[in-house]
Structure formats: structure tokens, C-alpha cells
Amino acid sequence: MSKKISNQSKNGSGGVSRKGNNRPSADLSGLPVAKNEEYEAEIVGIGHEGEGVGRVNGFTLFIQGALPGERVLVKVLKLKKQYGYAKLLKILRPSPDRIAAPCPIYSQCGGCQLQHLSYEAQLRFKRQLVVDNLERIGKLKVAESEADASEKGILVHPTLGMDDPWRYRNKAQVPIGFEAANADREGGLIGGFYAQGSHRIIDMDECLIQQENNDLVVAEVKRIARELGIRAYNEETHKGLLRHVVARYGFNTGDIMVVLITNGESMPHKDELVGLLRQAIPGLKSICQNVNKERTNVIFGDKTNVLWGDDVIYDTIGDIRFAISARSFYQVNPVQTEVLYSKALDFAGLSGEETVIDAYCGIGTISLFLAQRARQVYGVEIVGEAIDDARRNALLNGIRNVQFEVGAAEVVIPEWRRQGIAPDVIVVDPPRKGCDAALLATILEMRPARVVYVSCNPSTLARDLRVLEDGGYSTVEVQPVDMFPLTVHVESVASLIYKGIVRIN
């Protein structure tokens, strides 16, 4: 039974007196916990933001830093009718999976959430996250073992992790701001990730999930900007120049791009800035300025200028070479991207004779992998700049059996159907919000033999699989892939085949 710890009895002896004169509002008066009180809680799971899910007298509390299996002392900070938030005060019984987080600012920074959990436990958690969503949201049955999978549910494989889950990110997007006390001094410029749940920047010199060259870029831009008196952007007043620094690194080429996002088109001391950056950063191939004058949290604006060097850098995934521009969407973990796309290719079951449609094709990353084994691939993407990159990447690799078109997938694919294009396989890789309902309807109308669903969000994956299952498809297996170690995010690839049995709810 969970204990409330009184002001006089904080040693777990079971005291029940309240501290202070806090009185809950009328609609919260029936709750078994009270704001600002201390309790012992049992941690039963991990939430979507990496927080521990605790139970106190049957009531749910989200507790940052707590892990499943632990018993902890907490202080309730905020309450709602169904759940609340609490601060971790003391770990009374630690989890065997708890480790010391190596990052010195981990407790402040919101960039990653699971450094205090062993990597093996992270992989188990991510598989279970996929399973829970499939069962709870998709109402899909998950097989208990591979032997039961064909008749008794979907096979969800163990998460494919990394041999070394550190320093994996090839792109850093770092907000620039200033120390409040030094707002009017050129030395006040800082850069780092936001504190969890806020827009307060935690200044940093090193991030353990970034490739080391990205750390170098950010550190040198901050140093040089201070030297040149370039002012940091203030999102409250909409004044100041430098909003973000974006660093891109080609893992297999060593190419480096620096993108400076600015609140205006002028760039003070441009020639000196370029010269100092070139001197400080080995491997630098491109320096770009992206202009974003809007009052927005969106990082990039519409206009990009090349200050020096090329407009792209290059990298490879497998045998495919990619040109990457300042705003290109390119997977941030190239090692696991190859694992993810190889699994998608396996699930597509291609023999060389198939027609494949790649919805949400981006810069053509999956499309070009598929084209190596398919007769013809059609890719569609709503972002015109991405399609320009996709076409350039096809030419770069001499791949001719692929065609790209700009537009919404739910609009373009029906038009392809009217032109007589009948896909054997449709691959979807949607954003976190999942597939557009009209696209799912189009898939059900076209009835390809296979659908391969690449997902970055288990909840929308489960929702969309339910629609496809009700339309005659059977989800055979799902492979979680750890694209973002030390964070709560997980990618998955699902394999579906058309059975032709439509469920009517």
C-alpha cells in the first residue's frame, strides 16, 4: 500500500497528517492524493515522455526520473482528475536496470530521456511500447511467440538496437539565445537544447548523442558569433539575428555543412565569419544562411542563401549516394537507417518484376533502395524541394526505373491509378500524425498484394493498421528499430498482405 509521508514523518513510518494549509479545489477533493504532499509510489511503467508511471493508492502519477520496478518517495506538484505529476525526491528501491547517466546536464536538458536506463532495458521498453499500442489502439492480437504468429496474432520482433548507441546523430539543430543577465552584452550568447517542457536554453559544449563534428560546429559558431558581436535572437521581442545553428555531417564522406538560421537577410561581418568558420572546422564543404523572419517555433524559413561552398553535401546509405541540402529531410541515424530500409526491402518481397509506389517519399531514400530490386518505382511527396532532391539523387546514382511527382499522396496516387498504374506493393513512411485517411482509402481501393508501413509513431501505426486490417489486409509481422537510442522514440516496419476478407464493424 502506498504511503503518504507527513511533515513530521518522512521516514516511511506511515504518518498521515497534511503539510501546510493546501486545500484541493472542489472538483479534486475526492482524489486519494493531494498537491504538495509526499507519498511513496510504486513505478509500474514508462510514459510517452520517458517519465516513470507511478501508482499511489490506485492513482496515477507521472514522475520524471523514476523507472519501472522502483519504489520512490515523491512530492505531488500538479493534479488532474485522472492523473497527476510528481517530483522524485528519493529512490527507496532502485531498479536493477538503473545506470548512472554520463551526460553532465542530463537532468536539465530535454534532448534525451532514457540515459538512466540500461540499453538492453531500453530495447525491451521500445518493443513493449509497440505491442501496447497495437493491442490498445489497434485492437490487434500480438502473438506470444514466433510459433504462434501465423494463426494467433502478429509477430513483433525484438527491437533492433545499435552496437554503440552513442554519437549517432548526423544533424544538430541547436537554438541560440542569451543569458538573461547578459542580454545586452556580446558575451551573453548561448546555444544548447531546451530544458524539458520549456523554451529555456541549457547552454552546452557537448552532446553525447551528436557526432563529435556537430559539437565542434556549434561551439565554433558560438565562439565566432561572440567575437564578431552577432546578437542572439530573442523570441519574446522578435529582435536579434541568430536563431539556430544547424550542423550536418556525412558519416561516410566526412562532409560538413553549417546552416545559420537568421531573423533577417543581412549577415554582419559575412566575409570574416566565413573565413573564421573555414579556418576552425576541418572538412567544411558548405556554409548556408536560412532566413526565417516569422514569429514561429518552426526552425527553417523558405529562403536559403549559400554564403560559401556548395549547396549540398554528400553521404551514402548502403550503395546509394545522397545529395543533402540545407533543408533536406535525411534520416539522422545513418547506421540504423540502413537497418530500417533493409527490413522494409525484405518485407516488400521484391523479385524484380514488381511495380512499387512509395508514398511520402521525401528525398527518395526508400524509393532508391526499392528501385534496386523492383521493375518500376513511383515516389510522391508534397514538399517540392524534397522531390527536386529525389530526382537529383536518382540521377546521381544512375537509377532510371524511378519516377517522382510533387503532391499529396492521396491526390497523386488515384491519378496514377486512372493512368493504369497498378502497384504490387505500396510503401508508406508518413510523419508522426500517420497516414491521411484518404490515402488509406486509396490503398484499400488499389489492393496491392503487399503494404509495407514504416512508422515513427506506434500509436498512429496501430490506428492505421486497424483501418487496413478492416479493409482486407493482415498484419504479419512488425520489426521495431532503435533509430533514436536514449530517447523514447522508436521506429517500426510493418508487413501486411492482402487477404481479401473485409471486416464490417
Q: Residue 407: what pLDDT? A: 96
Q: Residue 24: what pLDDT? A: 45
- The length of the chain is 505
The CATH number of the domain holding residue 191 is 2.40.50.1070
205, 73: one domain: no
Q: For residue 462, give the H/E element and its range.
A: helix 458-470
- Alpha carbon distance 104, 370 (integer Å): 42
- Alpha carbon distance 216, 191 (integer Å): 12
Q: Residue 15: what pLDDT? A: 28
422, 456: one domain: yes
The CATH number of the domain holding residue 424 is 3.40.50.150
350, 465: one domain: yes
Phi, psi for 27 (deg, rounded to 5): -75, -10
Q: Residue 18: what pLDDT? A: 29
List, in sequence order, every residue forming a beta bridge with 404; answer none if it has no partner. 379
**Where among 265, 286, 317 does a domain terminate?**
317
List, in sequence order, every residue forming a beta bridge with 117; answer none if it has no partner. 98
If one compares 167 and 10, the residue with the highest pLDDT of the two is: 167
- Alpha carbon distance 59, 63 (integer Å): 13
Could you tell me whether strands 83-93 and 71-79 are parallel, antiparallel, or unpaired per DSSP bridges? antiparallel
301, 381: one domain: no
Contact 84, 59 (CB under 8 A): yes
Whether 12 is in a domain gets the answer yes
Catalytic residue from among 112, 207, 435, 456: 456
151, 185: one domain: no
Interval 98-144: pLDDT, tens: 999 999 999 888 889 999 999 999 999 999 999 999 999 999 999 97
DSSP 291-334: E--SSSS----SEEEEEEE-SEEEEEETTEEEEEETT----S-H
Place of cell 517500426: 492
Strand order in the sheet with 189-194: 201-203, 189-194, 171-178, 242-249, 256-262, 284-291, 303-309
Q: Which contacts qualify for 117-125: CB closer than 8 Å, 24 or more apart?
A: 117/46, 117/67, 119/161, 119/165, 119/485, 121/97, 122/161, 122/165, 122/482, 122/485, 122/486, 123/158, 123/159, 123/161, 123/482, 124/158, 124/159, 125/46
List, in sequence order, every residue forming a beta bridge with 73; answer none if it has no partner. 40, 90
Interval 473-490: pLDDT, tens: 999 999 999 999 999 999
273, 159: one domain: no
Average pLDDT, the chain: 91
User: How many other CB atoms are there within 10 angstroms of residue 14's CB atom?
Assistant: 12
Whether 100 is in a domain gets the answer no
Whether 112 is in a domain gets the answer no
Which amino acid is residue 188, in one-letter code? G
**pLDDT > 70 in the chain, percent:** 91
| Res. 319: pLDDT tops 80 | yes
The CATH number of the domain holding residue 33 is 2.40.50.140
If one compares 7 and 375, the residue with the highest pLDDT of the two is: 375
The arithmetic mean of pLDDT across residues 138-166, rounded, is: 88
The arithmetic mean of pLDDT across residues 326-337, rounded, is: 93
Q: Residue 242: what pLDDT? A: 97
Whether 109 is in a domain gets the answer no
Look up 288 and say whether it is catalytic: no
Interval 245-272: pLDDT, tens: 999 999 999 999 999 999 999 999 999 9
Whether 68 is in a domain gets the answer yes
The cell numbers describing 90, all together, are 528519493
**Where among 75, 93, 111 does a domain terminate?**
93
Whether 463 is in a domain gets the answer yes
263, 402: one domain: no
Can you state the angle between helices 270-280 and 212-228, rounded to 10 degrees? 150
160, 175: one domain: no
Whether 107 is in a domain gets the answer no
189, 288: one domain: yes
DSSP 62-106: EETT--TT-EEEEEEEEE-SSEEEEEEEEEEE--TTB-----TTT
The arithmetic mean of pLDDT across residues 85-92, rounded, is: 98
Q: Residue 109: what pLDDT? A: 86
The arithmetic mean of pLDDT across residues 371-377, rounded, is: 97
Q: Residue 149: what pLDDT? A: 62
11, 60: one domain: yes
Q: Which of 108, 115, 298, 112 has the alpha carbon at shortest distance from 203?
A: 108
**What CA–CA distances, in Å, run from 161 to 151, 251, 393?**
28, 18, 28
Place of cell 508508406: 428
Handedness of CA 256, 270, 192, 200 (dihedral sign): negative
Which amino acid is residue 236, in one-letter code? E
The arithmetic mean of pLDDT across residues 58-76, rounded, is: 97
138, 184: one domain: no
Q: Which residues contact 147 (CB under 8 A, 6 or more apart)?
A: none
Interval 7-52: pLDDT, tens: 333 333 332 222 334 444 446 778 999 999 999 999 999 998 899 9
What domain range is 207 assigned to?
Answer: 171-317
245, 389: one domain: no
| Res. 2: pLDDT tops 90 | no
How many CA atoms does the CB half-sphere of 100 hold within 13 Å? Answer: 2
Interval 376-401: pLDDT, tens: 999 999 989 899 999 999 999 999 99
Count of domains forming the chain: 3
Contact 443, 426 (CB under 8 A): yes
- Alpha carbon distance 216, 258 (integer Å): 11
Whether 475 is in a domain gets the answer yes
Q: Where are the beta strands (DSSP E) in 219-299?
A: 242-249, 256-262, 284-291
